[in-house]
Amino acid sequence: MKYLSEYRDPELARSLVDRIRAESSRSWTLMEVCGGQTHTIVKQGIPEVLGDSVELIHGPGCPVCVTPLEQIDRALYLAERPEVIFTSFGDMLRVPGSECDLFQVRARGGEVRVVYSPLDALELARANPDREIVFFAVGFETTAPANAMAVWRARELDVPNFSVLVSHVTVPPAMTAILESPDNRVEGFLAAGHVCTVMGWEEYEPLASAHRVPIVVTGFEPVDILEGIWMAVRQLEEGRSEVENQYARSVRRDGNRPAREIVSRVFQLVDRQWRGIGEIPASGLGLRPEFAPWDAEKKFELGGIRATEPEECRAGDVLRGRIKPVECAAFGGACTPETPLGAPMVSSEGACAAYWAYARYRGTDSAPGAASREGAASGTPGAP
């Protein structure tokens, strides 16, 4: 398949590894800002083949993982209401709330449905005028345009029984919060290519300049990741701090203008809680006042629902890059995919799930992912 096999080429991956190791005069610390990138990095054994030339630490790059516990509890409350059909993408159903998850609510009789588009949820509302249909709008800027379009269409079509529970977050404020943290170690970023496909990279330029860090917009395949690392290392070695675009086959500087336009018409910047991290000012998207009738938080008066993170879960430290998942005492014991303490263990893009999936981090040759360890040991990321 074009633009897939080329970016999994073992020889090309090996040549990039050699360049990175040869050109690194010291060990550099980079953070990838996407859970999909994290899974590629861990699966392909990229940290092992890079050795001491680069340390990769994992950022808050999974929107499911950073959705705050209280927002999950609000979703659970809505899903249990008899008049509500609660709709969501499938990746939210296993995320634990304070007491249970959406799968368990469904098992107890709550009407929870998986949809593949927020417009599917809108059509469900039109087909069921006697029920309240709520869609769980979670994600970075990548999913915001479709969610904005669903709300826009709900107003156009006058569908009063449709609403969205919004938990959108934006990437640049989180990167700023990490850089301004007193214990920050990040010297460069691999920015999330899919976010930049929508938003472009203009808003990263002041960030790179102000904090003197290189930011490389990067794709998701092994060669993408290694080329992004090489580009960041080259900047660091040359003393530059610019935004560069590795993901040129998908990303333009100004992004997708029509998508950005619908987002700006429906959403506005708001302060947002991040799970395990806390509140980051102007880091979220909330519905503009004129769309309040389709705001589930206002319609169902959910502001009083509050929650406290479990102390034994160190998801916040993982999401800020302070620790690797295996450094959490609960990893693999109290916290597994079957008994998760936090979202990073069950999300398809969670860092803890990535470390669990690939056997070398669990110390057993029989676990799934043993073949990945062989690929890492051979020094050939991208090998099938």
Cα separation, 210 vs 24, whole angstroms: 24
Q: What does the block give as tokens for 224?
A: 């993408």
Q: How confident is the model at residue 98 (pLDDT cuts 50, 70, 90)?
A: very high
Q: Indicate the domain borders of the chain.
A: 1-311, 315-375
pLDDT > 70: what percent of the chain?
92
Residue 373: how many CB atoms within 10 A of its CB?
17
Supply the mean pLDDT for the chain.
91
Least confident of 86-100, 185-199, 306-320: 306-320
Q: Are 254 and 247 in contact (CB under 8 A)?
A: no
Strands (E), 146-187: 162-169
With 70 as the cut, is the pLDDT of residue 33 above it? yes
Q: Just give the CATH number of 1-311.
A: 3.40.50.11740
With 60 as the cut, is the pLDDT of residue 11 above it? yes
Q: Are 230 and 19 in contact (CB under 8 A)?
A: yes
Cα separation, 50 vs 319, whole angstroms: 22
Q: Are 259 and 148 in contact (CB under 8 A)?
A: no
Q: What is the pLDDT of residues 245-301, one digit of tens each?
A: 999 999 999 999 999 999 999 999 999 988 877 899 999 999 999 999 999 999 999
pTM beyond 0.95, yes or no: no
Q: Which of 379, 383, 384, 286 is nearest to 50 (CA)?
A: 379
Q: Are 334 and 312 in contact (CB under 8 A)?
A: yes
Q: Are 179 and 211 in contact (CB under 8 A)?
A: yes
| DSSP code at position 281 | E
Mean of the pLDDT values across residues 163-191?
Answer: 95
pLDDT > 90: what percent of the chain?
80
Q: Are 254 and 200 in contact (CB under 8 A)?
A: yes
Mean of the pLDDT values across residues 138-149?
Answer: 96
| Residue 41 confidence (pLDDT) | 95
Q: Following CA atoms 70, 74, 76, 82 in sequence, which dihedral angle do they give, to the nearest 10 degrees?
A: 160
